[in-house]
Amino acid sequence: MDSVDFEQHRPTLLGLAYRLLGSMWDAEDVVQEAWLRWQAIDHDEIRDPRAFLVTVVSRLALDQLRSARVRRESYTGSWLPEPVPTAEAGPLDTAELRDTVSYATLHLMERLSPPERAVFVLREAFEFPYDEIARVVGVSVANARQLHRRASLRLADGRDRFQPTEEEHTRLLMRFIEAAAGGDLGALAEILHEDVVIWSDGGGKVRAALRPILGRRKAVSFIDAVVSQHGSEGVVTEVNGLPAVWSVSGGHPQLTAFAVRDGRISEIFIVRNPDKLRRVAPADL
């Protein structure tokens, strides 16, 4: 029964740890450590296994996130979250669960401090009451509320108030693919936000832009140059709850995901680090 209890909650725990860390590899390590701790305790003393396990995973992830932030500061180029197939992202039964696992939101959450991120995820995605969040994070209830408010305000600066539906996201993605493949720079510029940013993560292992590419004009030039040199064939796949594009550029696979703002593409995330692509390669390739 001890094993059954844990396995029942494993998808939720993985989804929680992934939202906190932005890396499924790290999330799996955290959940495995939680399993070891679960085995070592007297289960008769645990009244609510889910609450206990969420607390353990949250605290382990917080510790790991603090050290991960130091490593990411010395990362070669831009650090982007590890994309995951939607089916591996844990339960997505609510709009909040889907929103907090979207690639754009995971990237935005990198601007939060570890406590802010933990409070935001526990409150928004898992609807924990503030008194339990305070106990998990190790702060007062008032501080937990303040951390949530601060995190919400910081994330609101980078997001549309009204997020597009999956169908709207897909239509915009297909327009992007068609414009880029056809070399229609006017159509490409039309669907890009004026302040669009392109992020590229090669992890120092494959060639990638080391700095963000800012603004519509530079973004159009960059996309046109890449397509002209390496081609534009791609396969639409679903990661983190939304469609993205799997392609090969310069002999290296990559995944391209998007954020949308004001009905246009506001951020383009190009993941080229091979360590982050092992889970998301389409099965038919």
- Distance in angstroms (rounded) separating the CA atoms of residues 55 and 137: 9
Residue matched to tokens 């570890």: 114
pLDDT digits (tens, 9 = 90+) for 70-86: 788 889 999 999 999 99
How many CA atoms, within 13 angstroms, populate the side-chain half-sphere of residue 100?
28
**pTM across the whole model:** 0.93
**CB distance 169 to 238 below 8 Å:** no
Residue 42: which residues within 8 A CB-CB, separation 6 or more? none
Identify the pLDDT of residue 2. Answer: 63
pLDDT of residue 162: 66
| H-run or E-run covering 239 | strand 234-239
Residues lower than pLDDT 70 in the chain: 1-2, 158, 160-162, 232, 283-285
What tokens does 138 get?
């190790």
d(CA 132, CA 193): 40
For residues 241 and 89, the answer to whether their CB atoms sit within 8 Å is yes
